[in-house]
Amino acid sequence: MIPLLEANGISVRIGEKWASRDLNLTIEKGERWGILGINGSGKTSLLLSLCGLREIASGEIRVHGKSISAMEKREIARVIGMLFQDTEDPFPSTVMETALMGLHPRTGPWHRESAAEEEIARSALHAVGLSGMEMRLADTLSGGERRRLSLATLLVQDPELFLLDEPTNHLDIAQQIRILDLLGKSGKSLVMVLHDPNLAERYCDKVLMIFENGITLAGESEEMLNESNLSSLYHHPIACLESPGGRFFYPAIDPNQNKVRAPSNLEEK
């Protein structure tokens, strides 16, 4: 069977740094991947490369067996949807109008939304907890509400693969779990940039770790998520607690770490 997405020996460069070097990655239908790494390691750049929005230095990305470089943007958007780390609203639009933008990859120019399509958008807004806000202007929403609106727009787009750059950004704990539960039960293929290995443990079947200089490590979550790998990844001792609810990872005390000193101008005289 042809994979949903294949990255064959891809290298992604950010100036003088590498986000990946000769990375081979296969994403099958229904798989849930987590991408972990420190700030600046290139997680976002890799995600943008996987959907054709960023040029790769070498290698090839194939979608349903077809080179992504040979696909039109609208064709890609029918298969892959991207949730960006931050969202801007350059033009005034309501919550409903923003959610309906997800239809664009599947409609032609001058398309007027039908009642059925508006109902799809209402259902997506309800799923992310934004019912009753349809006529609010998007730029009046809080950061968490705007994040959920972006997710609703992605649900309306209805791609086969969701690329999610920090999907829990701006969300409180309850909303984080609500949204990740929703995505996890969607049946879609997911690739999520996450900062919390516990969320990767809970929601991801597989994990890709991005180390310095483009070194990557990928595999089953159960094998990848361990004290040794995570401590190396985050440059800090990570301990694991086994509990009835599953494994929990937390930052351990580093006995070799010097105490943080306040800047000299703030020290008591």
Where are the chain's structural domains?
Answer: 5-226
Q: What pLDDT shows up at residue 76?
A: 97
Q: How far apart are CA 238 and CA 231, in angstroms?
A: 5
Q: Which two tokens stand for residue 232?
A: 């190396």
> In the prediction, which pLDDT does 108 show?
76
The answer to whether the beta carbons of residues 213 and 54 sit under 8 Å apart is: no
pLDDT of residue 245: 84
| Rounded Cα–Cα distance for residues 139 and 144 (Å) | 12
> What is d(CA 170, CA 161) in angstroms, rounded to the nearest whole number?
23
pTM: 0.92
pLDDT at 266: 47
Pick one of 1.20.1080.10, 3.90.226.10, 3.40.710.10, 3.40.50.300 as the CATH number of 5-226: 3.40.50.300
pLDDT in tens, 63-75: 999 999 999 999 9
Query: What stretch of H or E contains 33?
Result: strand 32-36
pLDDT, residue 218, reads: 97
Location of structure tokens 């020290």: 267
Residue of 64, 53, 65, 7 whose CA lies nearest to 33: 7
